[in-house]
Amino acid sequence: MIETKPPANLAKTLAELKQSGWKSQSVKEEIRKNTVARIAADQQLFAGVLGYEETVMPQLENALLAGHDIVFLGERGQAKTRIIRSLVDLLDEWMPIVSGSEINDDPYAPVSRQARELVASHGDATPIDWVHRSARYGEKLATPDTSIADLIGEVDPIKVAEGRYLSDELTLHYGLVPRCNRGIFAINELPDLSERIQVGLLNVLEERDIQIRGYKIRLPLDIMLVASANPDDYTNRGRIITPLKDRFGSQIRTHYPLEIATEIEVVRQESRNASVGDVKVRIPNFMEEIIATISHLARASTKINQRSGVSVRLTTSNQELMCANAMRRALKAKETEVAPRVCDLDALAASTAGKIEIDVIDDSRESQVFDQLIRGAVLQVAKQRISPENLRLVTEEFVEGKVVQTGEDIASSDYVALLKTMPGLRAVVADLVDGDESAAVVASAIEFVLEGLHLSKRLNKDAKAGKAIYRSKTV
């Protein structure tokens, strides 16, 4: 929650609130009004949500303009929670409530007994508090042990011990849903909520009443309900009670980035700064493309369980680990500038293993799937970034007897020196580095070109213990 104080010029009593001209409105009308203003001003609804401009966002804008409760369906890592939490930005910055209200009672129409009695006794002198929009959002991860007390409320034994009767509404300790009155309540992984809890949630949202330990009260809450769910779980009969599913006006399907460029943009936004201290890490574009392509190939692979999804977090973690391995290599070599190379891709098994589910039995085949993804990504990017004619020139240099060794222990300066003896390779590297002729980036480009030649069956490669030797296939 953002800790901030309301401006001093805001109303402090009910009389001042009336004089200010403030008008009460439902939370959905409030969001609708602010959505209209943003769309009319050609402003983005949410910052930092990429790749949904032509797919998800138009659907979301329609749902908000229609005043719907919304369920987002998608696999993990598709920015569902980020979008849901960003809905708070469409609320007014400050909202008045009856002072001390636990459920954000509207000063013009309070619903809790405490607030009603306060307004009845003080009239226009009723004190007013102001709640920031960041405090008008509640979220619950649905788990099998979620209880009615968590969501709706429970009788507070301390209040009973103070002398109140169980039938007294003031003995209630409100749960998450009532405390989000006049705000947004989100449930993540909705299908994991047990059916009896779904019924209780529907009761307070639809029937507007609460039943706790046999005590029943009317509680006309004003809430926008938003949920997220895995498509397979949500559409599986029996996981969601039909009346609750019917409560959602709009069902929006999210997706992973459709383009490599979008995936790279997301990773640049989400990943940590690769440079540390005096060591600067430069990330060549072709290495970013390889990392993003690994995830795209994984999402299309029949050897990987697609039901659980292949999150963009995989791409982010892979890039961070690739850069970390490059950083470690630079520290050992006493270099102050480094760029990730193909040899750094061997480190990705640690960041990949926990984020994808491979449909194989033994560990040996699992490592083979990892290796196939990496090799497939390098080959695909090489075909896109290097013309066949340029590759032919480099191959001819190897036919003439050239042999090149690569590996973590090879200094960047040694790669640069190699270009003096291989003009064909130098021309290819010049096209790849986009004007960045630093030794680190040149070394990365050389390894990429050599691996691309090997994977396209133009060079032989002998690999062992993090080192590789490339030579002509005719030798």
229-247 confidence digits (pLDDT tens):
988 877 765 578 888 888 8
**Rounded CA separation 395/203 (Å):** 72
Domain presence at residue 434:
yes
Q: Please check whether residues 434 and 317 belong to one and the same domain.
A: yes
Distances (CA, A) of 400 to 119, 165, 394: 94, 96, 10
Q: Please check whether residues 42 and 74 belong to one and the same domain.
A: yes
The one-letter amino acid code at 165 reads Y
Domain presence at residue 329:
yes
- pLDDT band of residue 2 (cuts 50, 70, 90) is low
Give the CA angle between residues 135, 184, 52 to the nearest 5°.
Answer: 110
Q: Which tens digit of pLDDT belongs to each residue from 97-122?
A: 999 999 999 999 998 888 999 999 99
Q: Please check whether residues 244 and 316 belong to one and the same domain.
A: no
Per-residue tokens: 283: 């990330």
Q: Please check whether residues 212 and 279 belong to one and the same domain.
A: no
The pLDDT, as a whole number, for residue 470 is 93
Mean pLDDT of all residues in 158-162: 67
- Which H or E element spans position 139? strand 137-141
Per-residue tokens: 362: 């033994």
Domain presence at residue 412:
yes
Q: Which tens digit of pLDDT belongs to each residue from 49-62?
A: 999 999 999 999 99
Mean pLDDT of all residues in 65-78: 93
Domain presence at residue 7:
no
Q: Please check whether residues 243 and 271 belong to one and the same domain.
A: no
Mean pLDDT of all residues in 324-353: 92
Last residue of a domain, one of 231, 253, 275: 253
Domain presence at residue 8:
no
Mean pLDDT of all residues in 309-332: 93
Average pLDDT of the chain is 89
Q: Is the pLDDT of residue 9 over 50?
A: yes
286-303: b (≥16 Cβ within 10 Å) or e: bbbbbbbbbbbbbbebee
User: Could you tell me which residues are beta bridge partners of residue 97?
Assistant: 129
The pLDDT, as a whole number, for residue 112 is 87
**Rounded CA separation 347/149 (Å):** 46
The pLDDT, as a whole number, for residue 1 is 46
Per-residue tokens: 414: 């040694």
Q: Please check whether residues 415 and 455 belong to one and the same domain.
A: yes
Domain presence at residue 2:
no
Q: Please check whether residues 176 and 132 belong to one and the same domain.
A: yes
Mean pLDDT of all residues in 176-190: 92
Quickly count: other Cβ atoms within 10 Å of residue 266's Cβ.
23
Q: Please check whether residues 226 and 287 belong to one and the same domain.
A: no
Provide the CATH number for the domain around residue 226: 3.40.50.300
Per-residue tokens: 377: 């990504």
Q: Is the pLDDT of residue 47 over 90?
A: no
Mean pLDDT of all residues in 6-18: 93
Mean pLDDT of all residues in 434-442: 89
- pLDDT band of residue 168 (cuts 50, 70, 90) is low
- pLDDT band of residue 165 (cuts 50, 70, 90) is low
N-to-C CA span, the chain: 67
Q: What is the extent of the structural domain holding 245?
A: 14-253
**Rounded CA separation 148/171 (Å):** 16
Q: Is the pLDDT of residue 373 over 50?
A: yes
Mean pLDDT of all residues in 263-286: 93
Domain presence at residue 5:
no
Q: Is the pLDDT of residue 455 over 80?
A: yes
Last residue of a domain, one of 253, 283, 313: 253
Q: Please check whether residues 314 and 417 belong to one and the same domain.
A: yes
Strand arrangement of the beta sheet that strand 467-472 belongs to: 404-407, 467-472, 459-464
Last residue of a domain, one of 210, 229, 253: 253
- Our count of domains for the chain comes to 2
Q: Please check whether residues 266 and 249 belong to one and the same domain.
A: no
Q: Please check whether residues 324 and 370 belong to one and the same domain.
A: yes
Q: Please check whether residues 249 and 300 belong to one and the same domain.
A: no
pLDDT > 70 fraction of the chain, expressed in percent and rounded: 93
**Rounded CA separation 314/200 (Å):** 37
